């Protein structure tokens, strides 16, 4: 494993300072400061349109911020050569669409491109690394299957395998649980939380975020509404104010659990006249 | 790796051999009294091999008329196929090719402006006009398309619109300012014609196509990385801006060289990469050389079929490629909609 990264105790800190981005005059992110601690799992949560994906793309160096910097171990991403960034940082997009029909192994091998030689040849271990990565996401033995024949969840897992094949120090994932059934949701989160990499993950499910993440950042309207340990961050006030749900968060030995009870009445000032949802308020209405 | 490499090890030599055979067939089977032996003898003589020379008349038929034509077909076919591959990679759309994107039309317009209006008063060559027109239509297509190149209908409609615009300009120029001969000649040439083949045009076309193919093969891994789009390629460490410039300039230059030599021949860039992908998979390191070889074979065979099937009528070769290309277009379109 020539260029393989040694599993290190200290993979790297990904940090954003005063991040700002606007498109067509609409501010998507404003003054965002976040620190993803080395080797830990940092979750980004927030309602629809709060800027989660934009933040993930900025953190991955895919979208340049209009304002502020993203640093990897205190070095501005933009000052590093793209290829050396790609060796240390991998990004999994929300949905990967491909019109040309690749085989699964071809897709995963894209993850070895940052390690290609001057003549464009992949490293000798490429196929072994790729097969290991596929096995890690529960897709062992699918190398020769065609992309067009995969389900949404399988495609998502192949994309994660591609990112793992980059053997990154830092993984940025934008809602990787989309399309995954519950079994594979837990499996992927187990894999990511036990791995040695620094992980930044955009999540929708607040309970899963609270259970798996070491650190949570709550976005609201492109600003950081709260950040810290999940049990502290997801208090009843944040759930109501940011997510507009009623819920309770309790500490567990390994993190926190969030139980949601239902939609909150709109806003203390706005939604007074709305009828309260049916059913006793303390009965769980199911997790989002 | 192994299966793909193995396929390449079979497909590349087989296609190379096929190209040599169809080139010889293109000369020998084109009618008249020229035989396979005559063909080999004439070529051998010019290559300095110890063979008995042909009579000067027969030799000039082979060496001055037929061989340039067949080799030009091979070079043009290779160039159009390679352009199709790289355009499909960066637009992430399997229907992208020089003709459907309207780039051939743009190059034609540029060439016609030089030819009919004498623009540049001799300082600008036909190929220069074609290059300018090709680049202009390219810029227009990408400006109109925006970033949403993965949408099939959008790519095709933009190509149609740009193609129509340039066709209209060409028709205007030809009918308003061209004389009757020019009109007939140019109309014929816009449908694609190999009749004007000379060694000089073969040389220019071949050099441009070979250089472009080598450059494209050099950026093959970056083209592979584009399969999931701009952002995914950036995340894999690809310099996307540089890649786009290389592909757009390379494809425009190649298309221009081809159009200046043989006119606007359609669908080669669609049919050939599609078939090549079925043979060796989507990896560009192998796909590009295989497409080049297959494109050469395809256009030489199309030209030969045109002669054999429709003689004595002089059917433009672009008609044959369109007859094969349109059904392929429909198949590819249907597949895309199912996926």
Interface membership of A173 toward B (CB under 8 Å)? no
Per-residue confidence band for B116, with pLDDT thresholds at 50, 70 and 90:
confident
* Helix/strand/coil percent split, chain A, to 5: 30, 25, 40
CB pairs A-B closer than 8 Å? 90
Domain count, chain B: 1
Please check the confidence at residue B214 and state whether its pLDDT lies above 70: yes
CB A239 within 8 A of CB A247: yes
Q: Find the residue in A nearest to B333 (Cα).
A: A99
d(CA A113, CA B238): 9
| Overall CATH class of domain A14-233 | alpha beta
Interface membership of A151 toward B (CB under 8 Å)? no
pLDDT at site A275: 41
| Partner-chain contact A102 B92, CB within 8 Å | no
Q: How many Å lie between the alpha carbon of A49 and the closest alpha carbon of chain B?
A: 20
| Partner-chain contact B92 A116, CB within 8 Å | no
The domain that holds B208 is classified in CATH as 1.10.3470.10
Q: Find the residue in A nearest to B151 (Cα).
A: A99
| Partner-chain contact A114 B281, CB within 8 Å | no
Nearest to B232 among A81, A87, A93 (CB): A93
The tokens of B43 are what? Answer: 């070529």
Residues in CB range of B210: below 8 A, 6 or more apart: none
Q: How many Å lie between the alpha carbon of B330 and the closest alpha carbon of chain A?
A: 15
Tell me the C-alpha to C-alpha distance, in Å, between residue B170 and each of B119, B143, B165, B176, B237. Answer: 14, 21, 9, 10, 42
Q: How many Å lie between the alpha carbon of B93 and the closest alpha carbon of chain A?
A: 6
Q: How many Å lie between the alpha carbon of A96 and the closest alpha carbon of chain B?
A: 6
Total count of residues recorded for chain A:
288
Minimum mean pLDDT range among A70-84, B5-19, B78-92, B134-148: B134-148
- Best-predicted range by mean pLDDT among A246-255, B48-57, B185-194, B298-307? B298-307
Which 235-294 residues of chain B touch chain A by CB within 8 A?
A: 235-239, 277, 281-283, 285
pLDDT at site B189: 63
Average pLDDT over residues B287-302: 96
Per-residue confidence band for B144, with pLDDT thresholds at 50, 70 and 90:
confident
Please check the confidence at residue B331 and state whether its pLDDT lies above 80: yes
Q: How many Å lie between the alpha carbon of B173 and the closest alpha carbon of chain A?
A: 39
CB A204 within 8 A of CB A175: yes
Give per-residue pLDDT as tens, B251-294. Answer: 988 998 898 888 888 889 999 999 999 889 889 999 999 999 99
Nearest to A120 among B220, B234, B282 (CB): B220
pLDDT at site A10: 85
Q: Which position has the higher pLDDT, B134 or A174?
A: A174
Residues of chain A with pLDDT under 50: 1-7, 269-288
Please check the confidence at residue B170 and state whether its pLDDT lies above 80: yes
Nearest to B237 among A57, A85, A103 (CB): A85
Q: Which one of A98, A105, A152, A167 would you mutate to disrupt binding with B, by most B Cβ within 10 Å of its Cβ?
A: A98
Q: How many Å lie between the alpha carbon of B309 and the closest alpha carbon of chain A?
A: 35
Q: Which position has the higher pLDDT, A103 or B333?
A: A103
| Partner-chain contact A100 B225, CB within 8 Å | no
| Partner-chain contact A100 B336, CB within 8 Å | no
Percent of chain B with pLDDT over 70: 92
Q: Which one of A110, A148, A150 would you mutate to disrupt binding with B, by most B Cβ within 10 Å of its Cβ?
A: A110
The residues spanned by each domain of chain A are 14-233
Nearest to A99 among B92, B236, B281 (CB): B92
| Partner-chain contact B236 A114, CB within 8 Å | yes
Report strand pairing: A26-36 vs A75-76: unpaired
Set of chain A residues whose Cβ sits within 8 Å of the Cβ of B148: none
d(CA A87, CA B13): 36
Interface membership of A63 toward B (CB under 8 Å)? yes
Set of chain A residues whose Cβ sits within 8 Å of the Cβ of B152: 99
Q: How many Å lie between the alpha carbon of A254 and the closest alpha carbon of chain B?
A: 33
Percent of chain A with pLDDT over 70: 89
Set of chain A residues whose Cβ sits within 8 Å of the Cβ of B229: 96-97
Provide the domain limits for residue B323: 2-338
Set of chain B residues whose Cβ sits within 8 Å of the Cβ of A82: 234, 237-239
Tell me the C-alpha to C-alpha distance, in Å, between residue B336 and each of A221, B43, B102, B142. Answer: 37, 45, 21, 21
d(CA B335, CA B313): 36
Interface membership of B56 toward A (CB under 8 Å)? no
| Partner-chain contact A120 B225, CB within 8 Å | no
pLDDT at site B31: 77
Whether omega for the bond prior to residue B312 falls within 30 degrees of 0, making it cis, is: yes
pLDDT at site B90: 86
Nearest to A102 among B221, B227, B239 (CB): B227
The tokens of B113 are what? Answer: 């402006």
For residue B158, count other CB atoms closer than 10 A to its CB. 22
Interface membership of A50 toward B (CB under 8 Å)? no
pLDDT at site A271: 38
| Partner-chain contact A148 B339, CB within 8 Å | yes
Query: How many CA atoms are closer than 13 Å to the CA of B117, on its beta-carbon side?
Result: 18
| Partner-chain contact B218 A106, CB within 8 Å | no
Give per-residue pLDDT as tens, B32-70. Answer: 788 898 999 999 999 988 888 888 888 888 899 899 999
Per-residue confidence band for B188, with pLDDT thresholds at 50, 70 and 90:
low
Nearest to B150 among A93, A99, A120 (CB): A99
Average pLDDT, chain B: 86
The tokens of A258 are what? Answer: 């969030």
Minimum mean pLDDT range among A106-110, A188-192, B5-9, B225-229: B5-9
């Amino acid at each position: 494993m020539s260029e393989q990264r040694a599993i290190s105790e200290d993979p790297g800190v990904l940090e954003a300072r005063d991040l700002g981005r606007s498109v067509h005059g609409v501010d998507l992110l404003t003054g965002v400061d976040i620190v993803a601690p080395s080797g830990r799992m940092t979750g980004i949560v927030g309602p629809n349109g709060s800027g989660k994906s934009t933040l993930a793309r900025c953190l991955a160096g895919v979208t340049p911020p209009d304002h502020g910097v993203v640093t990897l171990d205190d070095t501005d991403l933009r000052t590093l050569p793209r290829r050396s960034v790609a060796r240390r940082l991998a990004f999994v997009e929300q949905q990967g669409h491909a019109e040309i029909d690749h085989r699964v192994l071809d897709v995963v091998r894209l993850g070895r491109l940052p390690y290609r030689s001057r003549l464009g040849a992949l490293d000798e271990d490429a196929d072994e690394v790729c097969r290991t990565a596929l096995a890690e996401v529960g897709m062992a033995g699918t190398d020769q299957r065609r992309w067009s024949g995969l389900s949404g969840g399988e495609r998502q897992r192949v994309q994660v395998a591609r990112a793992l094949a980059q053997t990154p120090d830092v993984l940025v994932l934008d809602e990787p649980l989309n399309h995954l059934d519950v079994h594979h949701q837990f499996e992927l989160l187990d894999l990511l939380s036990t791995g040695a990499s620094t992980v930044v993950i955009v999540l929708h499910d607040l309970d899963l975020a609270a259970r798996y993440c070491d650190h949570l950042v709550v976005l609201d309207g492109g600003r950081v509404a709260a950040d810290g340990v999940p049990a502290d961050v997801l208090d009843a006030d944040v759930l109501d104010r940011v997510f507009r749900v009623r819920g309770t968060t309790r500490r567990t030995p390994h993190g926190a659990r969030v139980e949601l009870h239902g939609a909150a009445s709109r806003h203390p000032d706005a939604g007074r006249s709305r009828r309260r949802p049916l059913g006793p308020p303390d009965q769980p209405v199911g997790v989002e | 790796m192994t299966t793909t490499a193995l396929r390449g090890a079979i497909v590349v030599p087989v296609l190379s051999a096929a190209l040599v055979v169809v080139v010889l067939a293109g000369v020998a089977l084109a009618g008249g009294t020229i035989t396979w032996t005559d063909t080999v003898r004439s070529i051998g003589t010019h290559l300095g091999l110890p063979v008995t020379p042909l009579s000067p008349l027969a030799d000039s038929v082979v060496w001055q008329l037929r061989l340039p034509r067949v080799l030009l077909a091979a070079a043009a076919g290779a160039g159009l196929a390679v352009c199709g591959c790289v355009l499909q990679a960066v637009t992430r759309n399997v229907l992208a090719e020089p003709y459907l994107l309207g780039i051939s039309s743009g190059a034609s317009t540029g060439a016609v402006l030089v030819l009919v209006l004498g623009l540049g008063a001799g300082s600008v060559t036909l190929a220069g006009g074609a290059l300018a027109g090709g680049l202009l239509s390219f810029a227009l297509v990408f400006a109109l398309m925006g970033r949403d190149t993965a949408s099939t209908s959008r790519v095709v409609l933009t190509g149609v619109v740009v193609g129509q615009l340039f066709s209209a300009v060409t028709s205007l120029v030809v009918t308003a300012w061209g004389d009757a001969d020019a009109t007939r000649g140019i109309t014929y040439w816009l449908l694609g014609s190999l009749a004007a083949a000379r060694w000089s045009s073969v040389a220019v076309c071949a050099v441009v196509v070979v250089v472009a193919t080598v450059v494209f093969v050099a950026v093959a891994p970056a083209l592979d990385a584009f399969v999931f789009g701009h952002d995914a390629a950036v995340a894999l460490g690809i310099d996307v801006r540089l890649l786009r410039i290389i592909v757009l300039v390379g494809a425009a230059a190649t298309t221009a060289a081809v159009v200046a030599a043989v006119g606007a021949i359609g669908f080669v860039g669609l049919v050939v990469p599609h078939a090549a992908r079925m043979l060796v998979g989507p990896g560009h390191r192998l796909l590009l050389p295989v497409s080049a070889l297959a494109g050469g074979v395809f256009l030489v065979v199309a030209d030969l079929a045109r002669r054999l099937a429709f003689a004595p009528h002089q059917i433009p070769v672009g008609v044959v490629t369109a007859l094969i290309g349109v059904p392929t277009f429909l198949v590819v379109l249907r597949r895309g909609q199912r996926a």
